[in-house]
Amino acid sequence: MLTTVQDLGRTGYQALGVSTGGAMDPTALRVANLLVGNPEGAAGLEVTLVGPTLVALSPVLMAITGGALGPSVNGVPVPERRAIALSAGDVVAFGCAPAGARAYIAIAGGIEVPAVMGSRATDLGVAIGGLEGRALRRGDVVPTGTPSAAARRTMRRLEAAGRRVAWWGAAPHLRRARLIDPIVRVMRGPEYDWFSGEADRAFWETSWRITDRSNRMGLRLEGGRVALPAARELVSSPVATGTIQVPPGGEPIILMADRQTVGGYPRIAQVCEVDLAVLAQLTPGARFRMTEISLIDAAQLLLARERDIYDLGNGLAIHHL
Amino acid sequence: MSPVEPRVRALSERVILVEFGDTAAMDAATRARVRAGVLALTREAIDGTTDVVPAYNTIAVHLDAASLGHFPAPYLEQVLREVRARVSDMPETPPAPGRLVEIPVVYGGVDGPDLDEVADHTGLTAAQVVALHAGAVYEVAMIGFSPGFPYLAGMPEQLTTPRRTTPRTHVPAGSVAIGGRQTGIYPQASPGGWRLIGRTTRVLFAPGEDPPALLAPGDRVRFVPVD
């Protein structure tokens, strides 16, 4: 079980070697926050594969998004991507047979742990942020902030209607079908041309598998080899979330949220931003292929996603009135 | 002779790279241009900039996804144009040198278990290694690997020593180390493959401080041997 406090990450400190971190599937966290009347970047819980069991200590408004990990309240399954009113004593649990790897729990008012360098995100490597820089464990009390006026109105409205679960919600940002043998769209990286025909072919044609040596820093892949034709020196250069590096062994690594800020391996490709959510939801053992997308098309997809989130925020604001 | 224009291209939909010279360049002139570029990109930041990250010969400009919709479409062309405008017309004179930070170091013994190996590899005595290492003034070329870890350029060439073939699983915080042509300091206890020649008690990274890191890119460093 790995449950950590995450927000949208620590920006502004990469020049000092500090990872951005934050939610592996930021879109899912943003949507969860909007559903409970929070700012998009409020801190929530990132639940990995096996969910925790949580007890509400006071009435709260909650929403669960991201991977489908089978959430329930007091043993009754509850839908994802809806605002859910919890009373004191209600028990939130997760089932098995997940579709996806990471679920996000937003609580109205956000999780109120101290911000470190402007963010509440847990960085397990440096042991900062979140609850004492670590993952949640049995017995922890997770402090939450004051719900917004919108969240309080929604709670009153649900109570008046005698309902626990809101009858409005958000559409899934990932179709479940996309998580089965998905195609991940990537752009050519700065050192793409260093790789010869054979390595290049292996990169595009291999059905890549995510190994269990993968974590929040990066996804280590196996299933093929993408070897450089000759050793070539690259001095440490900037990387981003989604950068695909090829170490000398030829098995690519996809850098994820807790990545380092610079890296010395050739950058063969870059995952387009909207498909980072797909990778964040794949479990060890899952397979996927890569296909090329142009920078322009990737940028259009990113803008379309941002428009969707903007529209969702506006739509929910009407429901929160 | 004026240097060639830096290459400006996108790494992703919201990370722009500014590349100076070829991919192996780590010379002083290139570093000076990187520093000038960072100044140009932070003094008048492009809308939505969250991070300007320098490396030896590259700068990365990270943009916030939610801000991109505010650019008149197509935003990428405009961002690339704005980055180019800032870095193509930089002054020929390098920026003023950064502040000088002195780092006290206990060399050798339990604090620097690889000092003798470095001496063996370089054909110097341990005392000569220390004298050369402490006799130079270094420049923080970049910070990476872990929060606050300075990659220091300017090490005398005689001290070049390859990394260990098997990295240590535990390097103590404050270890001063040599990795190839570079020297650096481990701010936190971590795994690491560089050769440990000494240790400092200076705190290089404190998450609660502002700024959290003792050193910033462009700063200069001198090691001062202590007993």
Which pLDDT score, from 0 to 100, does residue B4 have?
A: 76
Distance from CA of A262 to the nearest CA of B (A): 6
Q: Which of A122, A155, A176 is the last residue of a domain?
A: A176
Query: In this complex, is the C-beta atom of B72 within 8 Å of any C-beta atom belonging to chain A?
Result: no
CATH 3.30.1360.40 domain residues, chain B: 7-88
Which pLDDT score, from 0 to 100, does residue A206 have?
A: 97
Same structural domain, A208 and A261: yes
Same structural domain, A139 and A194: no
Query: In this complex, is the C-beta atom of A281 within 8 Å of any C-beta atom belonging to chain B?
Result: no
Same structural domain, A162 and A298: no
In a domain, A22, yes or no: yes
Nearest to A14 among B51, B66, B149 (CB): B51
Distance from CA of B114 to the nearest CA of A (A): 24
Q: Rounded to an integer, what distance in angstroms lies between the CA atom of residue B13 and that of residue A274?
A: 10
Which pLDDT score, from 0 to 100, does residue B57 have?
A: 92
Read off the pLDDT of each residue in B54-67 and give the average, rounded to a whole number. Answer: 92
CB contact under 8 A, B9 and A190: yes
Same structural domain, A278 and A153: no
SS3 B42: helix
Neighbours of A35 (CB within 10 A): 30
Cα B199 → chain centroid: 19
Query: In this complex, is the C-beta atom of A193 within 8 Å of any C-beta atom belonging to chain B?
Result: no
**Does B97 score more than 60 pLDDT?**
yes
Rg (CA), chain A: 20
Q: Rounded to an integer, what distance in angstroms lies between the CA atom of residue A56 and that of residue A86?
A: 7
Which pLDDT score, from 0 to 100, does residue B23 have?
A: 67
Residue A274 burial class via C-beta count within 10 angstroms: exposed 0-12, middle 13-18, buried 19 and up:
buried
In a domain, A210, yes or no: yes
Strand boundaries in chain B, DSSP class E: 7-12, 15-19, 49-54, 58-63, 100-107, 138-143, 150-153, 168-171, 175-179, 182-185, 190-192, 195-199, 220-225
Query: In this complex, is the C-beta atom of A121 within 8 Å of any C-beta atom belonging to chain B?
Result: no
Same structural domain, A147 and A228: no
The answer for A 25-54 residues in CB contact with B (under 8 A) is 40
| Domain B100-225: assigned CATH number | 2.40.100.10
CATH 2.40.100.10 domain residues, chain B: 100-225
In a domain, A320, yes or no: no
Q: Rounded to an integer, what distance in angstroms lies between the CA atom of residue B61 and that of residue B37?
A: 11
Which pLDDT score, from 0 to 100, does residue B128 have?
A: 97
Tokens of B101: 């930070």
The answer for B 147-206 residues in CB contact with A (under 8 A) is 147-149, 151, 188, 205
Query: In this complex, is the C-beta atom of A233 within 8 Å of any C-beta atom belonging to chain B?
Result: yes
What pLDDT band is residue A177 in, cutting at 50, 70 and 90? low
- φ and ψ of A85, to 5 deg: -90, 125
Same structural domain, A172 and A191: no
Domain holding A278: CATH number?
Answer: 2.40.100.10
Same structural domain, A191 and A64: no
Nearest to A261 among B53, B68, B205 (CB): B53
**How does pLDDT run across A45-95, given as a tens digit for each residue?**
999 999 999 999 999 999 999 999 999 999 999 999 999 999 999 999 998
Domain encompassing residue A63: 2-176
Tokens of B36: 């000038």
Which pLDDT score, from 0 to 100, does residue B72 have?
A: 66
Same structural domain, A159 and A198: no
Which pLDDT score, from 0 to 100, does residue B1 have?
A: 42
Which pLDDT score, from 0 to 100, does residue A74 have?
A: 97
**How does pLDDT run across A108-134, given as a tens digit for each residue?**
999 999 999 999 999 998 999 999 999
Query: In this complex, is the C-beta atom of A14 within 8 Å of any C-beta atom belonging to chain B?
Result: yes
What is the pTM (predicted TM-score) of this model? 0.94
- Cα dihedral sign, A26-A32-A34-A37: negative
Tokens of A70: 């089978």
**How does pLDDT run across A183-236, given as a tens digit for each residue?**
999 999 999 999 988 999 999 999 999 999 999 999 999 999 998 888 777 788
Read off the pLDDT of each residue in B86-94 and give the average, rounded to a whole number. Answer: 81
**Does A100 score more than 50 pLDDT?**
yes
CB contact under 8 A, A125 and B146: yes
Which pLDDT score, from 0 to 100, does residue B26 have?
A: 78
Give the count of domains, chain A: 2
Nearest to B76 among A261, A295, A309 (CB): A295
**Half-sphere exposure of residue B66: CA atoms within 13 angstroms, side-chain side:** 12
Top residue of B7, B8, B11, B209 to mutate, by most chain A CBs within 10 Å, is B11
Q: Rounded to an integer, what distance in angstroms lies between the CA atom of residue A71 and that of residue B222?
A: 57
Work out whether strand B49-54 and strand A237-238 pair parallel, antiparallel, or are unpaired: unpaired
Low-confidence winner among A250-259, B62-71, B114-123, B198-207 (lowest mean pLDDT): B62-71
Tokens of A295: 């920078």
**Does B67 score more than 60 pLDDT?**
yes
Which pLDDT score, from 0 to 100, does residue B65 have?
A: 84
**Does B89 score more than 90 pLDDT?**
no
Same structural domain, A240 and A170: no
CB contact under 8 A, A17 and B143: yes
ipTM for the whole complex: 0.94
Same structural domain, A158 and A25: yes
The answer for B 108-127 residues in CB contact with A (under 8 A) is none
Top residue of A34, A120, A261, A295 to mutate, by most chain B CBs within 10 Å, is A261
Which pLDDT score, from 0 to 100, does residue B165 have?
A: 82
In a domain, A128, yes or no: yes
Read off the pLDDT of each residue in A28-36 and give the average, rounded to a whole number. Answer: 97
For residue B14, the chain A residues in CB contact (below 8 A) are: 273, 302
The residues, ordered by sequence, that sit 6+ positions from B13 with a Cβ below 8 Å of its Cβ are A272, A273, A295, A298, A299, A302, B68, B76
Read off the pLDDT of each residue in B203-215 and give the average, rounded to a whole number. Answer: 94
Distance from CA of A18 to the nearest CA of B (A): 5
Distance from CA of A57 to the nearest CA of B (A): 30
The answer for A 153-192 residues in CB contact with B (under 8 A) is 187, 189-191
Same structural domain, A287 and A242: yes
Which pLDDT score, from 0 to 100, does residue B73 have?
A: 63
CB contact under 8 A, A273 and B68: no
**How does pLDDT run across A279-305, given as a tens digit for each residue?**
999 999 999 999 999 999 999 999 999
Q: Rounded to an integer, what distance in angstroms lies between the CA atom of residue B148 and that of residue B185?
A: 9
Which pLDDT score, from 0 to 100, does residue A97 have?
A: 65
Tell me what percent of the residues of chain B surpass a pLDDT of 70.
Answer: 96
Same structural domain, A244 and A220: yes
Query: In this complex, is the C-beta atom of A261 within 8 Å of any C-beta atom belonging to chain B?
Result: yes
Which pLDDT score, from 0 to 100, does residue A55 have?
A: 98
Which pLDDT score, from 0 to 100, does residue A274 have?
A: 95
| Domain B7-88: assigned CATH number | 3.30.1360.40
Which pLDDT score, from 0 to 100, does residue A86 have?
A: 98
Which pLDDT score, from 0 to 100, does residue B208 have?
A: 86
Tell me what percent of the residues of chain B surpass a pLDDT of 90.
Answer: 73
Nearest 10 degrees: Cα torsion B79, B216, A124, A251: 60
